[in-house]
């Protein structure tokens, strides 16, 4: 199955999953959105009002900021994949509960398995905690972490949530600065992959 079809299947599986919390009808699901071949996946928290209407992540005010941040590094939104920990809108936009996070986790894991991004950018503390349990956003934002995720290497760059940046000028300054580091991180990873490929070719020639 190609990647787009696999992502479509994940969406349908969520819509048909009667055990998912915070859902009363299939249309409540806000699936991930973007390029199935994305090099970068952004993971937020949960949908809000606008996301629930358009059934797309990050299309409200936080999404407008995310679009601007992507533009600042010359990356088109269509090039990346954007998703949430909880793929619906919690009532009153409350913080997701542990059982809600864990109910949706297997669908997020499937998305990551299909896309196999080079970099995962976590937006806010809930997605950060999935990969860097115990980390504090103030100490780790904008840094690159190599983690072992389900037996595979994954590169995580935790960032502040865009909604937090909209509320606080200093967080806005930091998220802008952190985004500017992303192209360099990607470039470094590609160079590393290239050198590894050359090394393998040389070993095969010996
Ligand atoms: N905040 C999130 O975490 N996700 C969205 O999709 C929108 C706002």
In the chain (206 residues long), the average pLDDT of successive 10-residue segments reads 96 98 97 98 98 98 98 98 98 95 98 98 98 97 96 96 98 98 97 84 80
Local structure of 100: helix, strand or coil: helix
Ligand 1 atom having least distance to the Cα of 56 = 6
Ligand 1 atom having least distance to the Cα of 50 = 7
Contact 165, 175 (CB under 8 A): yes
Query: Residue 31 C-alpha to ligand 1 middle, in angstroms?
Result: 12
Query: Residue 65 C-alpha to ligand 1 middle, in angstroms?
Result: 11
Position 120 scores a pLDDT of 98
Position 163 scores a pLDDT of 98
Q: Is the dihedral of CA 28, 29, 35, 41 positive or negative?
A: positive
Position 37 scores a pLDDT of 98
Integer-rounded Cα Rg, in Å, for the chain is: 17
Query: Residue 148 C-alpha to ligand 1 middle, in angstroms?
Result: 26
Query: Residue 109 C-alpha to ligand 1 middle, in angstroms?
Result: 18
- Whole-angstrom distance between the N-terminal and C-terminal Cα of the chain? 37
Query: Residue 143 C-alpha to ligand 1 middle, in angstroms?
Result: 22
Nearest CA to 174 out of 146, 147, 145, 143 is that of 143
Position 107 scores a pLDDT of 98
Q: Which of 32, 44, 166 to mutate to test the pocket of ligand 1 (most atoms within 8 A of CB)?
A: 44
Q: Is the dihedral of CA 122, 126, 130, 135 positive or negative?
A: positive
Q: Which of 32, 33, 46 to mutate to test the pocket of ligand 1 (most atoms within 8 A of CB)?
A: 46
Query: Residue 110 C-alpha to ligand 1 middle, in angstroms?
Result: 19
Using a 6 Å CB cutoff, which residues line ligand 1?
44-48, 51, 57-58, 60, 62, 84, 163
Position 206 scores a pLDDT of 74
């Amino acid at each position: 199955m190609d990647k787009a079809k696999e992502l479509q299947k994940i969406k349908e599986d969520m819509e048909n999953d009667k055990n998912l919390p915070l859902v009363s009808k299939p249309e409540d699901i806000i699936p991930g959105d973007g390029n199935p071949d994305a090099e970068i996946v952004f993971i937020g928290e949960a949908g809000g009002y606008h996301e629930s209407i358009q059934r797309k992540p990050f299309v409200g005010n936080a999404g407008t900021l995310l679009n601007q941040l992507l533009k600042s590094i010359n990356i088109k939104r269509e090039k990346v994949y954007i998703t949430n920990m909880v793929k619906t809108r919690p009532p009153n936009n409350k913080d997701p509960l542990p059982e809600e996070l864990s109910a949706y986790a297997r669908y997020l894991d499937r998305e990551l398995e299909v896309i196999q991004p080079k970099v995962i950018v976590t937006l806010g503390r809930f997605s950060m905690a999935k990969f860097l349990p115990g980390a504090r956003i103030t100490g780790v934002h904008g840094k690159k972490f190599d983690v072992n995720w389900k037996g595979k290497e994954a590169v995580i760059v935790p960032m502040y949530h865009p909604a937090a940046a909209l509320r606080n000028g200093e967080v806005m300054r930091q998220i802008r600065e952190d985004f500017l580091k992303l192209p360099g991180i990607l470039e470094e990873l590609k160079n590393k992959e290239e050198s590894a490929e050359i090394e393998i070719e040389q070993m095969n020639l010996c």
